[in-house]
Structure 1
Amino acid sequence: MKTNQRRFFKPIHSVCLAIICVSGVTSLEASQFRCEATPEILISAPDESMVVYVCDAAARAVAFLDQYGLQPQRTIGIDIIEESINRDGYMAYGSYDRQNDHILMMSLPAILKSSQAPEMYNMPFDEEHYVGAFAHEITHAIFQHNADSTEDLWTNAAQEYLAHATQLGVLSAPRRAAIMDAAATGPWETGDEISVTYMGFNPTGFAVKSYLHLNGLSDPKGFIKILLNHKWLYVSVP
């Protein structure tokens, strides 16, 4: 997708929802939208009703990651769809394809209809968690943009650490505190192994441990540099 389509932009008035009010959305041709604050985000959607969530999530994720020296380096395409996403044999709300630098995300109504009581971090899924889910997938893309190697690395645990830390980091302080209190766990400690196996058994605990660990580091940029150059299925905490 070309990124030099600014001459086709036409402004959209600000859109306000329950928890967010974003004016920085521009419309392109053929149901495409771009976030003015984060122009690297290019969204395909039937209308702007879900786009406001994407732009809010992108702004929060980019601000969170910028403090660690990470920025998007190229366009990130996002498609908002109505059907469930089959991700390696299980159904997911969202997915990032690093080969195409592309994110698929179900619309919020589609997620809410996907089960009787959809949850995120053991809490009812809502608009705020929808923003967090977008921030998670956008972090995967930014991680890939800043990885030290273009080789096919085993970086699942490293990426999920940062994606979950960012997802918690963009939530409101009361929501984040409620999740951490319910999880009742501490940060990753020296000698621990950060793994997708642990994440599979306890995704909420994985997220809380990662957020607390990252925010407790005296040199977080140094640890993120380790993550960006990681080649294995798990990360040993130094």
Structure 2
Amino acid sequence: MQINGPSRQAVRWNLICRVSMLAAYLSMTPLAGAETGSCSNPNLTVSVPSSELRQEVCTAAELALEFLAGLGIQAKYPVRIVVVEQPLHNLTYSAYGCYDSRSDLVTVMSQQIIHKTSPSPKMFYQPLDQTQYRGIIAHEVAHALIQQNSKVLPLPLGTAAQEYLATVTQLSIMPPAIRDYVIGTADVGPWESGDIITGDYMAMAPARFAVKSYLHFRQLPDPAKFVDKLLRSKWYYVNVD
């Protein structure tokens, strides 16, 4: 689920994309003149129209891969990313990025198209800029790697578990000053023992969900143990011990 869409509806659409695995994204067209190629990391394949945008997409995706590798979440095969020149929407919902587990494809709107279709787009309380755009890409790449490393296949991994890891990845690759601003503005603490992490909280307060998850993750004495628990989650929620 991408928290970076323009509204709460965007969150719901991304849930539909990952849980129902709709085919709409298979018909999305990449930017005119797009070419498919690899990043310096062979575990990434991208379809973009220019070398400049390719580098931007590769940089964001590589940051996500590097962070997740530190948690033992490795790419088992290349992650495919395509940048499109049209809104991602269906059933009246919209979003900036999506990972479709059926096609195993990360689809992201170009930053230019986001600004054309969304008046003054914002996320994490800030105008959408290069840093936040990298976060969109990293978030969706995280979903792709989480799917590759799921320990409940062929069942779908729980929504809360996916979003916890994807949002932690997104905040972790941010420059510290920007991340600190997001944390301060959200004004929430970490998940605590006895809490239940749910996709509903994500839908109601996506930025706060992300911050609570990041703060909780940062204080874990054994992150690998909790990550293993998440990768085994079959439910819509996660209990915090």
1:117 aligned partner: 120
> Residue 80 of structure 1 corresponds to which residue in structure 2?
83
User: Letter of the aligned partner of 2:184 in structure 1?
Assistant: D
Aligned AA for 1:94? G
> In structure 1, what is the equivalent of residue 221 of structure 2?
218
- Distance in 1, matches of 2:156 and 2:81, equals 23
- Which stretches in structure 1 are left out of the alignment for 5+ residues? 1-29
> CA offset at residue 89 of structure 1?
4.8
Give, in whole Å, the separation in 2 of the partners of 1:154 and 1:78: 21
Distance 1:55 1:87 in 2: 27
For 2:146 and 2:90, the matched residues in 1 are separated by: 19
Alignment of 1:186-205 (within 5 A): 186-205=189-208
Amino acid of the structure 1 residue aligned with 2:232: N
Match status 1:184 vs 2:179: no
- Give 1:116's aligned amino acid: P
Q: Is residue 106 of structure 1 aligned with residue 109 of structure 2? A: yes
Tell me the percent identity.
Answer: 39
- Please report how far the alpha carbon of residue 149 of structure 1 lies from its aligned counterpart in structure 2 after TM superposition: 2.4
Deviates more, 1:77-86 or 1:146-155: 146-155
Equivalent residue of 1:50, what SS?
helix
Which of 45, 48, 59 is residue 45 of structure 1 equivalent to?
48
- SS of equivalent residue, structure 2 residue 152: coil
Cα distance in structure 2, aligned partners of 1:110 and 1:76: 23
Deviation of residue 152 (structure 1)?
Answer: 2.0
Higher relative contact order structure (alpha carbons within 8 Å, sequence separation ≥ 6): 2
2:169 aligned partner:
166
Deviation at 1:153, TM superposition (A): 2.5
Which amino acid in 1 is paired with 2:212? K
Alignment pair present for 1:35 and 2:39? yes
In the TM superposition, what whole-angstrom CA distance separates every residue of 1:24-83 from its partner, at most 9, and x where no partner exists? xxxxxx7112111x2111111222232112111122111211221111111111110011
Partners in 1 of 2:153 and 2:92 — Cα distance? 26
SS in 2 for 1:43: strand
8 Å Cα contact 2:152/2:233 also seen in 1:
no
In the alignment, structure 2 segments of 5+ residues that lack a partner are 1-33
For these two proteins, the number of residue pairs brought into alignment is 209
Measured after TM superposition, the shift of residue 229 of structure 1 is 0.6
SS in 1 for 2:51: coil
Q: Larger % of helix: which?
A: 2
Q: Which residue of 1 aligns with 2:240?
A: 237
Bigger-Rg structure (1/2): 1
Q: TM-score, normalised by structure 1?
A: 0.84
Secondary structure of the corresponding residue to residue 52 of structure 2: coil
Q: What is the root-mean-square deviation in Å for CA atoms of aligned residues?
A: 1.5
